[in-house]
């Protein structure tokens, strides 16, 4: 009877993932061969298998404790991470096509989710960055003058400059390759002051679930 029960038992998450990874179509999607949307969908399938259906929300312990404190709850609510990539919504006002907007959304969603960014925080950050990109004058971007970027970081964060840089770099390291490329390209295309602000936002998002 025990053998029959075992045969009827549902596959464990590890077994289910192993079965998924044996699927050539899934591997092709996961590798990115079939486009960004297919890759994100493949990653989501794997995440769904590893996440129990009745799992409690993935709230960091520090924020869970703060949610029980009335005085700290508003602070904590503004830092709660998304439970799914679909919670991230972005309005790409400067894209040339729907397909480009979809691809950017997929990259930004995955990048934000990878570091546990709060959806509203991520949306506000991307919105401000988009607006500033339209205002950068020729010759005043970070890639035109990286020394000015260093100066802007020091001006913005003072004694906390290196700690902020370290946290932002850790956030970048946690992102998928496409997300890292997008963030790095965006930073270099911004004016130094906004790039410093963006660096601080990356650091804040990374620290929020770890402090």
Q: Is the pLDDT of residue 130 over 70?
A: yes
184 CB neighbour count, 10 Å cutoff: 12
Q: Cβ-count burial of 40 within 10 angstroms (0-12 exposed, 13-18 middle, 19+ buried)?
A: buried
Instruction: Look at residue 67 in the predicted model and tell me its pLDDT.
Output: 63
What are the distances in angstroms from CA 101 to CA 36, 172, 207? 12, 22, 28
- The CA distance from 150 to 146, in Å, is 6
Please report, for the chain, the start and end positions of each structural domain, with discontinuous segments joined by +: 9-55, 59-208
| Whole-number pLDDT of residue 126 | 94
Give tens-digit pLDDT for 94-121: 788 888 888 999 999 999 998 888 898 9
Query: What is the model's pLDDT at position 2?
Result: 45
Taking CA 164 as the corner, what is the angle to CA 163 and CA 168, rounded to the nearest 5 degrees?
Answer: 120
CA distance 162 to 170: 12
Task: Convert the pLDDT of each residue in 23-54 to its tens digit.
Answer: 889 888 888 788 877 777 877 777 666 554 44
């Amino acid at each position: 009877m025990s053998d029959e029960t075992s045969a009827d038992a549902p596959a464990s998450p590890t077994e289910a993932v192993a079965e998924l990874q044996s699927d050539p179509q899934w591997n092709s999607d996961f590798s990115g061969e079939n486009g960004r949307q297919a890759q994100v969908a493949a990653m989501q399938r794997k995440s769904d298998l590893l996440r129990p259906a009745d799992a409690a929300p993935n709230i960091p312990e520090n924020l869970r404790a703060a949610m029980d404190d009335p005085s700290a709850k508003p602070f904590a609510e503004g830092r709660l991470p998304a439970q799914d990539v679909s919670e991230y919504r972005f309005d790409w006002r400067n894209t040339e096509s729907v397909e480009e907007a979809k691809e950017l959304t997929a990259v930004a969603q995955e990048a934000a989710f990878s570091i546990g960014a709060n959806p509203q925080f991520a949306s506000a950050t991307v919105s401000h960055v988009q607006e500033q990109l339209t205002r950068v004058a020729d010759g005043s971007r970070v890639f035109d003058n990286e020394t000015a970027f260093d100066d802007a970081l020091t001006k913005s964060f003072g004694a906390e400059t290196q700690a902020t840089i370290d946290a932002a770099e850790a956030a970048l390291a946690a992102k998928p390759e496409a997300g890292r490329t997008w963030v790095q390209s965006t930073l270099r295309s911004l004016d130094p002051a906004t790039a410093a602000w963006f660096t601080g936002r990356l650091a804040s998002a990374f620290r929020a679930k770890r402090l």
